[in-house]
Structure 1
Amino acid sequence: MPAAAALTRPATESTPNTPGTRRPRLLITAARHGMDDYRRQRDLPRLIGPGIPKADVTEVLAALEERMETARRANDPGWSCLRHVEVLIALLSERALRAE
């Protein structure tokens, strides 16, 4: 691949447990680094609001992340990189907790 082509294509990586879903490597790497600081009681209400049953948390987070990814790809000015990373941190952490 020519060097110029490598610069124009962002590196992507699959999100764990979601085959075929590709996200920029930088988003996934940032989320993985943030997983150590994830605290369910503190972070979930801020991200998705109170009152979501524990069983539904990953589905709610996955839907929220999908909407954020759609906004990112559409270059929506309302898209927030920080918020997207926070949701990915929560999603990856909740999936890791569920797998234990």
Structure 2
Amino acid sequence: MLDIHTRLATLKRPTLLTRAVRFGVDDYRRDIHLRRLLQIENLPRHGDALIRLLGIEEEINALRLANSANYSPAAHVEVLIAISGEARLMQATGPQVI
């Protein structure tokens, strides 16, 4: 299993998705967005949140690759924004023990 930093570094998505994420990441608010995406009351640490978000994103990306009618580009961008925001916050707060 890859560590979280390797998973983030190897996450490659289409240009249109990554551009949308860059526009939205500055507005990421952990207390609002992360709670809604993970459907939890108490927020986990950044590393734990990233692991959960990467799992969600993996499922959404599988729908995209399968050309599924259930694929939502808006939901995909929302999760990618949360991943990018959490990665920024984790980097800003220093190393964590996961």
Task: Tell me the TM-score range normalised by the shorter chain.
Answer: 0.7 to 0.9
Partner of 1:8: none
Alignment size in residue pairs:
84
Aligned residue in 2 for 1:67? 59
TM-score (norm 1): 0.77
In 1, the alpha carbon distance for the partners of 2:62 and 2:9 equals 16
Determine the structure 2 residue equivalent to 1:33.
23
Match of 1:79 in 2: 71
> Which structure's CA Rg is the greater one?
1
The higher-RCO structure (CA 8 Å, 6+ apart) is 2
Unaligned runs of 5+ in 1: 1-15
Counterpart residue identity of residue 23, structure 1: R
* Residues 3-45 of structure 1: per-residue CA shift (max 9 Å, x gap): xxxxxxxxxxxxx9322x3210110110111011110111111
For residue 52 of structure 1, report the CA deviation from its aligned partner. Answer: 5.2
User: What's the C-alpha RMSD, in Å, of the aligned pairs?
Assistant: 1.5
TM-score of the two chains, using structure 2 as the length reference = 0.79
After superposing on structure 2, the runs of 4+ consecutive aligned residues of structure 1 that deviate more than 3 Å are none
- Identical columns (%): 39
Q: Which structure carries more strand by proportion?
A: 1
Q: Which runs of 5+ in 2 are unaligned?
A: 1-6, 93-98
